[in-house]
Amino acid sequence: MAKDFGKTAQGVLNGVGGKENVRSVVHCATRLRFTLVDSARANDDAVKGTAGVVSVVKAGGLYQVVIGNDVHEVFEELGKLGVLVDAGAWGGGPPWRSNPSEIC
C-alpha cells in the first residue's frame, strides 16, 4: 500500500492546532520541527495517532514530530497546505543548530 504523505501532513497539521498555530516548520533527517504560536493548542495524542508519525518530542522550545525517512515528503505536503516552511533549512542546517552537518 502506498503511503499518503498528504494525509499524514494534514493529520499532523490538525494535531498541532492548525495552520494558524504554526509560526514555521523546518526538518532534519527524521523530524519535523515546529515553532508554534501556542504549544498548549497542540494535541500530542492526535499527532501520535496520525498514520506515518512515530513519536512527538518537545525540546528546545520546538514541537518535534518524528516521521522517519519520509520526513521530506511530509514536509513538502505541509508547504502545499500553506504552512510557512523553511525550504533552505535542510541544506544549510536549521538556524538553531550550531553545527549544520549534525543530524537528528
Which residue's entry shows cell 508547504? 79
pLDDT digits (tens, 9 = 90+) for 50-89: 999 999 999 989 999 999 999 999 999 999 999 987 765 5
**pTM for this prediction:** 0.83
Q: Which residue has the higher pLDDT, 102 or 84?
A: 84
Ordered structural domains, the chain, with CATH = 5-84 (3.30.1360.60)
pLDDT of residue 87: 60
Q: Which of 6, 7, 10, 28 is catalytic?
A: 28
C-alpha pair distances (Å), 4 with each of 43, 71, 74, 101:
21, 12, 9, 29
Angle between helices 5-15 and 71-80 (to 10 degrees): 70
Catalytic, 104? Answer no
